[in-house]
Amino acid sequence: MDSFLDRNYITKWVYVKGSLVAQSAFMIRDYGSDVSDTAVLRESDALDAKPYVPGSSLAGALRDLCKQAGNMGDGLCDKGTISALLGADDDSGNQSYLIVNEAFMGEGAALPRTAARDGVALCEEQRITEKTAKYDYEVVESGTPLEMRLEFVIRDKDCPKCSERCELLLERIAATLTTEGVFLGGKTSRGLGHFKLKQPEVLILEADDQACRQGYVDFTWDDPGFRNLEGLEKTVPLPSPWKSRSYSVEIPQSLLIRDYNNPDTDADCVMLQATKYGEGDTPLVPGTSWAGLIRGSCRQILYDLGLEKDEVKKMLIEAFGSEYEDVQDIKNTESMKKSSVWFSESMFDANTELLRVHRTPIDRFTSGVVKGSFLTEEIIAQVKTSLDIRYTEEWMRELIELAMVDINDAFNTLGGEVAIGRGICCFSDLSLGEDKDGYISGLKELSEKLRDVTRKKGGHDGE
């Protein structure tokens, strides 16, 4: 048994709290629920239970931020400091200095709305839906506030230099959360799960002070000693490998992204809408729709550049990740690659109204009118929005912008009912220029870059 003098006493407590506000819809999966194919994790099985983020999910996301910064040469994010602050991710068993609590909603917070969205896998060659590959997933509305609570504990036998580095790293993590934010949950590369920290506060208690020791004994998260975490605007956020671009998007005609789970309408087809915490419904283009449209356009460009089928597949996986996340792929996760391109969700103006239109359906085989049938639809028309992307390598942005030029010329369209003129998109703010000369020169430059990339990478593990 350890003697009294061998005990490792706490010398300092640092408590950090704030509001993690969802900048987009999010999905923390509950694998034990039968609400949908992919349901949201809640506090309990009660109908009025609120969603939350497990501490393990938040801690893992913070570790990823630090690892990315370390891979970019940030001296503070070495393996030893990360392991000390967030615990070892190997068999050494080092305990974390940082305690990451579950992120729950406040007691007085209103229950956020959730929505079921549809996903569908497409056949690689024909670009038609795969048989039995349709699924639905549940998301929580954007704007939902969660309470982030972190506890940083220093003991008398901890290395002073390491403790100091961990405290500095914690401050930079907080600065990153307030500026760039963090991504939590599923489908984060397709616009879901973006959170930012608002109104961060800190409480520091020193064990050599009698009042602080009593403060630790009586501590609650409502302690009046919390103060604003000042100076974060001067703190350098952790570096990120992601580069970003924003594009203006115009829908010159009409658009229909179908919502298959809207019980509040008698229309046969209705435009997908999203909700924001405490606000009304707004039409939305999900990141999955943007990814599918742009990936398909990029595929055709790569073939036009003269790349072979295997080369095209490798480049698409390198940029957009593995194609499907079905059961067979999940059993062989080493062959799966996460997307290196991130697409935002595009919400339209809150005042955008749905237009109710009526038409006769067209037989896809005869191109004639279906006798005795009539459709009612709710669509949007002549509206504007924006699309944000993040990427890791410049050739990915150039390929995407070349795809946008093709989309501007209506070679590919967004959403449903494209045969009757819906889904035409016009992107602006392209860096390669919107003229044909810029497009051709961009193709030539990209062709050489992609050849170099395929030669350097050689192949893709697991294929």
Whole-angstrom distance, CA of residue 191 vs CA of residue 194:
7
Is 288:341 a contact under the CB 8 Å cutoff? no
The pLDDT assigned to 5 comes to 53
Whole-angstrom distance, CA of residue 377 vs CA of residue 361:
11
> 72: helix, coil or strand?
coil
Q: Per-residue pLDDT tens for 252-306?
A: 999 999 887 776 778 888 999 988 898 888 999 999 999 999 999 999 998 988 8
Which of 338, 342, 454, 337 is CA-nearest to residue 391? 342
Domain parsing of the chain, residue ranges: 10-234, 243-457
Output phi, psi for 304, to 5 deg.
-65, -30
Show the beta-strand stretches assigned E in 257-392: 269-270, 273-275, 281-285, 341-343, 346-347, 355-359, 375-391
Q: Which pTM value belongs to this model?
A: 0.86
The pLDDT assigned to 126 comes to 42
The pLDDT assigned to 191 comes to 94
Instruction: Summarize the chain as % helix, strand, coil (round to 5).
Output: 30, 30, 40
Question: What dihedral angle (degrees, nearest 10) is formed by the CA atoms of 156, 158, 162, 166?
Answer: -80
The pLDDT assigned to 345 comes to 95
Alpha helices in 157-305 (DSSP H): 160-179, 210-217, 287-304
Token output for 25: 């819809």
The pLDDT assigned to 100 comes to 96
Cα end-to-end distance, the chain, whole Å: 55
Long-range contacts of 81-85 (CB under 8 A, 24+ apart): 81/162, 81/165, 81/166, 81/169, 82/169, 84/162, 84/163, 84/165, 84/166, 85/166, 85/169, 85/170
Show Cβ contacts of residue 174 under 8 Å, excluding neighbours closer than 6 positions: 16, 18, 197, 200, 229, 232, 235
296: left (phi over 0), alpha (psi -120 to 50) or beta: alpha
The pLDDT assigned to 461 comes to 42
Regions of the chain where pLDDT drops below 70: 1-6, 31-37, 91-93, 120-134, 263, 323-335, 364-365, 367, 372, 433-436, 456-463
Find the helix or strand (DSSP H, E) in which 409 lies. none
